[in-house]
Amino acid sequence: MTDEQTRPGTAAPPARQPDWWHRDHPTFTAITGFFTGLAYVIVVPSLFAAILYWAFDEQTAADAYPFVLISLAVPIGLAVAPPTRRFGGYMLVGVVTTALVVLGVAAVVLWVLVGRENSHGGSL
């Protein structure tokens, strides 16, 4: 240590930033892109529906809800633009994977519930 660092009343040296953050660690972009896609497919449609139902009557909001598909332009645009191509690609993987998992789980639950309803003769 130098004399300046050991003297009382002097400022401590600035903390060193992690090197991997600045060099773009190979897994950092992939993980953040994937989880951004996961959050995007859950948060954006929910906020869109909430804003529609807050701003319009129920029928107008229900009619306008399919316009949420326009929000897919963001990850597609990120995947096309050269500076963000890698991040956008992983974001699209997160969006598609989340959508497949949600639809798959919904299909299995529906199949089990319908099968259970039919096996009990329509009574619970």
- With b for 16 or more beta-carbon neighbours within 10 A and e for fewer, the 61-99 pattern comes to beeeeeeeeeeeeebeebbeeeebebbbbbbbbbbeebe
Residue 18 has pLDDT above 60, yes or no: no
Q: Measured between alpha carbons, how far is 25 from 22 in angstroms, rounded to an integer?
A: 8
Q: Which of 86, 44, 89 is nearest to 67 (CA)?
A: 44
Residue 20 has pLDDT above 90, yes or no: no
Q: Please, which pLDDT band fits residue 116 given cuts at 50, 70 and 90?
A: confident
Residue 6 has pLDDT above 60, yes or no: no
Q: Which of 25, 6, 7 is nearest to 17 (CA)?
A: 25
Domain locations along the chain: 25-119
The first and second tokens of residue 61, run together, are 């909001």
Residue 22 has pLDDT above 70, yes or no: no
Residue 124 has pLDDT above 60, yes or no: no
* Averaged pLDDT of the chain: 85
More confident residue, 23 or 106: 106
